[in-house]
Amino acid sequence: MDVSQTFSTVVRRTAIGLVLIALVALVQTDFQVHAQNAGNVGIYTREIPVFSAQSTTVASAFFPDFGFGCNVLSYQNSGFIGTIDFDWIPPGTSTPIILTQANYSSADSGTHTLVLGGYFPNLRSTVTPSAGSLNAEYTAQANGCSAISSGLGSNGAASPIVCDQNLSTIVPSAGTGNIVGGISAGQTIVICNAVVSFQAAPSNGTVLMEWAAVVGCTTPLDASWEAYTSAATPVYITIPMAQRSPFPASLPFACLVNNSGVSLIVSVSYARIQNL
């Protein structure tokens, strides 16, 4: 074999080798691309204690600043009346700004959460008890969550309630009947809809919903809805306002007090909700 043939053979083999190397590189690159998880390579999370049996007004230390986009404050009330919040002191300022807050005007012994979406350096929590105490823990994650919840109420953010239970109760004239009750610790009874149906035209009187400590409704202590009745009152009355037990630990039974002069039937749509 002469020199020119040898040179041509070397060139061909070199070219073939380069093509093979390029193919292997493409295959490896393709595998690497498909190994990605939609661009998510990890999520940083953190959890720290905030308050322990706290019964006096105090602001916590600033929470760790790792660029968290979703902040959650979990707290457990014990006969608690007062407020707890997420508040933020913008860099270069000294006045805290309340970003979200829960306000308990009646003694509460449930477990709850405050959720805050967005990045806020110098974030902390302030608790202002007027009775009782609470424990609290802060958790956070680097990925985001909604900055505004689907619902806001007196006690902070909450999702709309889906009432998936129904029942009807007959309440005799001049009587009191238990509508719904029987809850576990930390639960709240929520009545989304209620309709009162009179057996005949009522007389001058009242119909009211109260919350009691016992199933027999012998000690109703807190009224949440009341209406006058007369001979002109329609046969059906719709209670237009959602009702919920105000003291989950002590008044868990919804009762209807019938002073309309005739028997009635009350039909409700309700749910038992944990940690509301």
pLDDT band at 52 (very low <50, low <70, confident <90, very high): very high
Type of residue at 56: T
The pLDDT score that the predictor gives to residue 14 is 64
Work out the percent of the chain whose per-residue pLDDT is above 90.
47
- Who has greater pLDDT, 104 or 137? 137
Which domain CATH number covers 176? Answer: 2.60.120
Asked if residue 14 belongs to a domain, the reply is no
Domain boundary among 130, 157, 184: 157
Considering the domain architecture, whether residues 179 and 219 belong to the same structural domain is answered as yes
Asked if residue 94 belongs to a domain, the reply is yes
- What total number of domains does the chain contain? 2
Asked if residue 36 belongs to a domain, the reply is no
pLDDT band at 20 (very low <50, low <70, confident <90, very high): low
The pLDDT score that the predictor gives to residue 153 is 76
Domain boundary among 121, 139, 157: 157
Mean pLDDT of the chain: 83
Q: Which of 146-155, 203-212, 235-244 has the lowest mean pLDDT?
A: 146-155
State pLDDT tens for residues 109-131: 888 889 888 899 999 999 999 99
pLDDT band at 31 (very low <50, low <70, confident <90, very high): very low
Asked if residue 91 belongs to a domain, the reply is yes
The pLDDT score that the predictor gives to residue 168 is 93
pLDDT band at 30 (very low <50, low <70, confident <90, very high): very low
The pLDDT score that the predictor gives to residue 47 is 87
Extended beta strands in the chain, E state: 45-54, 58-59, 70-88, 97-108, 111-117, 123-141, 152-153, 156-157, 165-171, 175-180, 187-198, 205-212, 220-229, 236-239, 243-244, 253-259, 264-274
Report whether pLDDT(197) > 50.
yes
Considering the domain architecture, whether residues 198 and 256 belong to the same structural domain is answered as yes
Cβ contacts of 64 within 8 Å, gap of 6 or more: 46, 48, 140
Considering the domain architecture, whether residues 49 and 136 belong to the same structural domain is answered as yes
Task: Give CA–CA dist 136/114, Å, rounded.
Answer: 10
Task: Give CA–CA dist 12/210, Å, rounded.
Answer: 95
Q: Which domain holds residue 134?
A: 45-157
The pLDDT score that the predictor gives to residue 186 is 67
Start-to-end C-alpha separation, the chain: 91
Asked if residue 217 belongs to a domain, the reply is yes
Report whether pLDDT(235) > 80.
yes
The pLDDT score that the predictor gives to residue 22 is 56
Considering the domain architecture, whether residues 140 and 124 belong to the same structural domain is answered as yes
Q: Which of 173-182, 240-249, 258-267 has the lowest mean pLDDT?
A: 240-249
Which of 55-64, 208-217, 235-244 holds the top average pLDDT? 55-64
Task: Give CA–CA dist 25/143, Å, rounded.
Answer: 33
